[in-house]
Amino acid sequence: MQFSFDTNLNKIAAKVEAGERISFDEGMELFATEDLNALGKLADFVRRKKHGKTTYFNVNRHFNYTNICVADCKFCNFYRRSRDADAYTHSIEEGLQIARNAVNEGATELHIVGGLNTKIPFNYYTDLFTSLKKEFPALHIKAFTMVELDFFARFYKMSDAELIDKLKAAGMDSCPGGGAEIFAEPTRSRICDHKCGADRWLELAGKVHHAGLKTNATILYGHIETIEDRIDHLVKLREQQDKSGGFQCFIPLAFYPPGSALSSIPGPDGITSLKTIAISRLMLDNFDHIKAYWVMLGKHLAQTALHFGANDLDGTITDGGELTHAYSIEEGGESKMTKTELIKLIENAGFEAVERDTVYNRVERATV
């Protein structure tokens, strides 16, 4: 039986079934296909081979310690200048209070990221981590993108190894995948000129992996990037993963334009999002997990993404924090979802919901 009316897709499907790696040009052909069903089926084939019917979720909470940032990224509606009336930096005690609430609500992870703020001394971060670990030894601290680590190394004048060692000793358990945006130039410079470049982002991820910690990776799509840029991004991540092996999850982030300097762009439609998720699953043959992030996709498209290669649905019971709130596509910037609602989304899509911790161990609880 013909798999698809698209002959290119048929050829690629044969390679995928044989477990062969697909090339840059084949990635381009996947984006060009008009057979969305067949593309989804192919990504679902790989997803089921790796994970069967399991769809993971975790209960976490975001802590965005400051919105003051010097990076001036064109896609960002979260950052403020220090003189702005709504600029803030949370105290360590405020961070602890957020962690207390989160743990009470069942969170196993605190996701900590913030702006590049030149007014914060380095010991704020280490004191924050040690205070968190003292009160909540079992709470996983997933903190700082490679962009923050690059900024810290330069601003506090430390070697990468020294920086990573100090943060790890204070309690950093893993790193989230933000700041990757789009690696390809000139697009990267046009949207985030003041952030570290692709080579540096990848180099730092390699160093964190070398230090024994896992990290995630993201792509920000649906703005001014080209299809070539998206495939280039996936190929670069795949090459880095071959070298350092520490990426555990890939999260395609749908650009949310309102309030950003790129607000005149409509943002990605559903087809672009489903294609990007499916093609990520197919190109990233050395990544175990692809996460559908409902905050930017919307709940129902995120649920649909589970049939297009995603095996993880992110964003559960606890409040998303200021950053998540800023780019949530849901009405009123909603960034909370109850565990019951999330499990229902997964089960109604025909999958089995499994609560995980940050590093994908199953979390068994007496009650939901």
Please, what is the minimum distance in Å from the beta carbon of residue 191 to ligand V47?
10
Taking CB atoms, the residue at the shortest distance from ligand V47 is 178
SS3 annotation, 14-65? HHHHCCCCCCHHHHHHHHHCCCHHHHHHHHHHHHHHHHCCEEEECCEEEECC
Site for ligand V47 in 282-341 (CB under 6 A): 293, 296, 314, 327
Least distance to ligand V47 from the beta carbon of 296, Å?
5
Q: What phi and psi, each to the nearest 5 degrees, are found at residue 256?
A: -115, 100
Distance, in Å, from the CA atom of 116 to the CA atom of 180, rounded to the nearest integer, reads 15
The Cα–Cα gap between 198 and 63 comes to: 26
Identify the H or E element spanning 104. Answer: helix 92-104
Residue from 260, 273, 276, 311 binding ligand V47 (CB under 6 A): 260
The residues, any chain, with a CB within 8 Å of residue 330's CB and separated by 6 or more, are: 294, 295, 298, 299
CA angle 182, 186, 191 (to 5 degrees): 55
Interface mask toward ligand V47 for 237-256; x: CB under 6 A = --------------x-x-xx
Q: Which region among 73-81, 127-135, 151-159, 161-169 touches ligand V47 (by CB under 6 A)?
A: 73-81
The least distance separating ligand V47 from the CB of residue 344, rounded to whole angstroms, comes to 21
In the list 176, 206, 309, 321, the residue contacting ligand V47 (rule: CB under 6 A) is 176
Mention every residue, 6+ apart, whose C-beta is less than 8 A from residue 105: 59, 61, 317, 318
The letter for the amino acid at 140 is: H
Comparing CB distances to ligand V47, the nearer of 69 and 163 is 69
Number of chain residues interacting with ligand V47 (CB under 6 A): 20
Q: Could you say whether residue 216 binds ligand V47 (CB under 6 A)?
A: yes
Contact criterion met (CB below 8 Å) for 35 and 4: yes
Distance CA 124, CA 168 (A): 14
Shortest gap between Cβ of 188 and ligand V47 (angstroms)? 12
Of the candidate residues 164, 220, 305, 343, the single one contacting ligand V47 (CB under 6 A): 220
Question: For residues 124-153, which are near ligand V47 according to CB under 6 A?
Answer: none
Among 64, 187, 218, 303, indicate the residue that binds ligand V47 (CB under 6 A): 218
| Chain positions contacting ligand V47, by CB under 6 A | 75-77, 176-179, 181, 216, 218, 220, 251, 253, 255-256, 260, 293, 296, 314, 327
